[in-house]
Structure 1
Amino acid sequence: MPDNRMPGSNTISVIIPTFNEEARIGATLANVLPQRPAEVLVVDSGSSDATASIAAATAGVQLLQSAKGRARQMNAGAAAARGEWLLFLHADTLLPAGALERIAALPDGVLAGAFRHRFSGDDWRLRLISRLDNTRSRLTKIAFGDQAVFVRRMLFERLGGFPVCEVMEDVAFGEVLRRATTPILLSEEAITDSRKFEQMGVWTSLLRVGVLLACHRLRLPLVGRSFFNEIR
């Protein structure tokens, strides 16, 4: 892909970490590509399904390989990216319409931000969780990864990228980011596939997130590894 970045322009690189996301990566790429980012980088970590082949076969997508771990994958994508803005997008999350234009139009003083969050589907419990999450994000200035976090490249590099940790790399980075700037929360909603919450159970999933946050903030080891098994 030719380097189409102009000095001082607000070009955007979209970085998508993947692992066994064949059921969703196609829709996510179809959502991103018409918005004309500078580039789309899928960073796969050894998927055993068709995720990598779908990405490789999609025009306008650069496929990279990385060691497993979302932080490692996103850092690898950022190192290869060329845009002034870096947008980190989960493989099961869809950007709102016009999202990249919205970011490109932000004034120079804005260095980072994210979108409001919404789960797919109409389950009232998931709508409630999204509202609570958006309130948390607005008050703490820390976004979860499924809010499509974006940050200017120069700041991301200065902060050293995502801390390499097993889980909660988004919160760990958000804590560092908050000390360097005040991230904004855009009103548009990024939509995350609700299947993980539905498969594990909505309230169990909410408890899982709460335990993860508590372990992170109290610097405690994760308890019960089976409790944190991945759902695909």
Structure 2
Amino acid sequence: MTAALTVSIVVPILNEADNLPKLFEHLHQLTAKPQQIIIVDGGSIDGSFTLAQSLMTEMITIQQSAIDWQVLASSAGRALQMNRGAALASGDVLLFLHADTKLPNQAMTEIALAITQAKWGRFDVHLDSNKLLLKLVGSMINLRSRLSGIATGDQAIFVRRRIFEQLGGYPNQALMEDVEISKRLKAIGKPACLTSKVITSARRWQQHGTWHTILLMWRLRFDYWRGVSPDSLKRHYYNT
């Protein structure tokens, strides 16, 4: 990580108590360190906020404040949570990370190199499953993203902070906020499509069935393209 460029990681959480110890340990073990890590809780009812505060205290003690850790409360809604974290970020680059996603160890270094040639970018994704079909799903997500220039949140979108602020942050909508901001960023410049893979949870695919989830995701994208409201899409997404 070069001294001239700093990264703030923003992690929105909601009822992620089971994942938080693994998340904090993973971020602690990154080879190249971010300047700042901001955890933003959206009203968890499983003790996530208190647990995150406790884990933050442990990390500060272990690292002797090498990283600026913060845990914030926010209104519910991933876009609202990410914007809340971004508003308090001090890094040159913002990296938005899902709580169930792991970065490559050299992610900060790769971002520092990529951002010299692009205003924003994302990583390739690998679903944490050995099933052949889910490996294929991950490959198709990466190919689709590379061809379309659109990224999803589980690909760990990163962007120069000043660009993010110029765009007004994530749009305040219930779903597809990642697709929408990708469209706006794409209008400014092509993304850096890093081939290094983030590892993200396959839990939704496993819980609801791979083919069902594939069809659902394509249906949601099609409906969003034809103008269905994000609120309606969210109801469909969480009721299936």
TM superposition score normalised by structure 1: 0.91
Task: Using the TM superposition, give the Cα deviation of residue 33 of structure 1 relative to its aligned residue in structure 2, in angstroms.
Answer: 2.5
Question: Structure 1: which 4+ aligned runs deviate by more than 3 Å?
Answer: none
State the partner residue of 2:10: 15
Among 164, 180, 184, which residue is 1:176 paired with? Answer: 184
Task: Using the TM superposition, give the Cα deviation of residue 220 of structure 1 relative to its aligned residue in structure 2, in angstroms.
Answer: 1.4
Distance in 2 between residues matched to 1:193 and 1:37, nearest whole Å: 22
| 1:128 aligned onto 2:136 | yes
State the partner residue of 2:66: none
Distance in 2 between residues matched to 1:119 and 1:142, nearest whole Å: 18
State the partner residue of 2:101: 93
Aligned to 1:15, what secondary structure does the other structure show? Answer: strand
Among 132, 145, 148, which residue is 2:153 paired with? Answer: 145
Query: C-alpha deviations, 1:132-154, integer Å up to 9, x for none?
Result: 11000000111110000000001
Structure 2: gaps spanning 5 or more residues: 61-68
Task: Using the TM superposition, give the Cα deviation of residue 224 of structure 1 relative to its aligned residue in structure 2, in angstroms.
Answer: 8.8
Q: 1:106 to 1:132 in 2, by over 3 A?
A: closer
Aligned to 2:114, what secondary structure does the other structure show? Answer: coil
| 1:229 aligned onto 2:214 | no
Q: 1:138 to 1:212 in 2, by over 3 A?
A: same
Aligned to 2:185, what secondary structure does the other structure show? Answer: helix
Distance in 1 between residues matched to 2:99 and 2:115, nearest whole Å: 28
TM superposition score normalised by structure 2: 0.88
Q: 1:224 to 1:133 in 2, by over 3 A?
A: closer
Task: Using the TM superposition, give the Cα deviation of residue 11 of structure 1 relative to its aligned residue in structure 2, in angstroms.
Answer: 0.5
Task: Using the TM superposition, give the Cα deviation of residue 197 of structure 1 relative to its aligned residue in structure 2, in angstroms.
Answer: 0.9
Distance in 2 between residues matched to 1:115 and 1:95, nearest whole Å: 9
Task: Using the TM superposition, give the Cα deviation of residue 157 of structure 1 relative to its aligned residue in structure 2, in angstroms.
Answer: 0.5
State the partner residue of 1:104: 112
8 Å Cα contact 2:175/2:234 also seen in 1: no
Q: 1:19 to 1:92 in 2, by over 3 A?
A: same
Query: C-alpha deviations, 1:39-59, integer Å up to 9, x for none?
Result: 110000110012112211122
Task: Using the TM superposition, give the Cα deviation of residue 202 of structure 1 relative to its aligned residue in structure 2, in angstroms.
Answer: 0.9
Aligned length: 224
State the partner residue of 1:50: 47
Q: 1:224 to 1:156 in 2, by over 3 A?
A: closer
| 1:155 aligned onto 2:163 | yes
Structure 1: gaps spanning 5 or more residues: none
